[in-house]
Every structure is written in structure tokens, then in C-alpha cells.
Amino acid sequence: MTLKPLFTLSCLFVVTSLSFLSAQKILGQQTSPTNPDPNTAPTSPTTPNTTPTSDPTTIPIPTRQTTSSEFSQLPCDQDQQLSSPPQVKGKPTWENSTYKYYGDINPKTKEANGRGLMIFKQSDFQYYGDFKNNKRHGCGRLSYPVESNIHYYLGQFQEDKFQGLGRLKLRNQNEYIGNFVNNKCQGRGVYVFRDKTEQDGSWREDKLEGSDNLSCKQFNNNYR
């Protein structure tokens, strides 16, 4: 009476044990994502590569442009005739007690109008360039007498005056390049010394702002 239940219980225990061992064997062949082996170090994230794969494009560092370079091509510099005024002979187109004029005139008024050369009799100034209604107007070159410390002015004129952009060249090879207003150095400009050093800035009433010893008056007072 007591052997049958005991036999049945023993068989059930054996079957259960075999089932458990089989399941454990199958599961042991798989890696659980939620239960990694504690003895296995985790994979480190990939470190970003800080070394460029190719040489970066070289960006040139801009160099400071000198002020004289800003004024390297003034409007009147393109007129090649102004660099060497013509030599004239013979009877002038028009003449009076003040000057002799060779060039274009208004046939009705006999005034200089167009391109021409005007030679002043008493002062030895010479102007070659554009005229309008008998006045220097447009692009032109005013050459100074040999005794002057100024060699020439080449640039824009308006109503007989330096007005606009131009260059005032001295006989010692120094020069002022830049803006002129009413015969005076005024506005943006640069003074270039014969050794090519420069002093630039804003000019007002012939003086370089911020400088006590540089002024256009010191060399431009014999034509005002």
C-alpha cells in the first residue's frame, strides 16, 4: 500500500530533474543581453578621431594694404598724356598779357575749352589738361617753376582748384597722395617719403590729424 505512491513520487522527481538540466544546457549556449558575464569588460565607445583625414585647406592671412596702394590708380593716372606734357612751338592758339594757350578753344568766346596747354608768362607755371570755360576743370597736370620745392600736381581740378583725388609731388621725391578740397589736402590721404615710408590718416585744412609736424602748408603755400 505505501510502495506505489513512493515509486510514483520518485519517477516524477527524476523527470523534473532531467527537464531542468536540459533547459539549463540550452540556455547556457545563449548570451543574455540583460545579464552579461561579470568577468567580461564592457566595450568602450569609439573615441572620435581628432586627426584630420586629409590636410585642411590653408586659409591665407590677409596682409594689411598700405595706404599708397589704395591710391595706386587715381582717376587721372590713366591719362598717359599727362605724364609728359607736350612741347609746343609756333604761334599759340590764344594769347594775352597773362598766358599763352595752345589747344582747343570755344570759337565764339575764344576761351580754352577742351584739352590744351597753358603757359603763364610771369610765373613760369604750366598747366596741361582739361579746360572748361577758360578754367582748369577735369584731369590735368600743373607744373611748378624750377625754383619751387614742388615739382607738379597731377589730379582732378574743378573751377581752377585742386578738387578731388590727386598727387602733389615734391622735388625731393616726397609726395602727398589722396583727397583735395579747395586746393587743400583734406580727407583720406597719405604722405609718402622718398624712402617709401608712409604716414597716413585723415587730413583737415592741410594738416594730418594727430600730427603736429606734418602739413601740406609747408610745401604748398606758393600756389594758393
Q: What are the tens digits of pLDDT across the range 170-198?
A: 999 999 999 999 999 999 999 999 999 99
Task: Evaluate whether residue 85 is within a structural domain.
Answer: no
The average pLDDT across 160-170 equals 95
Check residue 132 and give left, alpha or beta (phi > 0: left; psi -120 to 50: alpha): beta
Q: How confident is the model at residue 220 (pLDDT cuts 50, 70, 90)?
A: low
User: What total of structural domains would you count in the chain?
Assistant: 2
Tell me: the pLDDT tens digits for 98-135? 999 999 999 999 899 999 999 999 888 999 999 999 99
- Per-residue pLDDT for 27 more than 90? no
Instruction: Give the mean pLDDT of the chain.
Output: 76
- Per-residue pLDDT for 13 more than 60? no
Give 67 or 25, the one with higher predicted confidence: 67
Cα separation, 210 vs 201, whole angstroms: 9
pTM here is: 0.68
- Per-residue pLDDT for 6 more than 70? no
Cα separation, 37 vs 31, whole angstroms: 9
Domain shared by 172 and 121, yes or no: no
Task: Evaluate whether residue 222 is within a structural domain.
Answer: yes
- Per-residue pLDDT for 144 more than 80? yes
Segments forming the whole domain that contains residue 167: 150-224
Percent of the chain with pLDDT over 70: 67
The average pLDDT across 211-222 equals 71
Give 106 or 220, the one with higher predicted confidence: 106
Last residue of a domain, one of 83, 117, 143: 143
Tell me: the pLDDT tens digits for 37-92? 444 433 333 333 333 334 434 444 334 455 677 787 899 998 999 988 888 888 99
Task: Evaluate whether residue 82 is within a structural domain.
Answer: no
Last residue of a domain, one of 103, 118, 143: 143
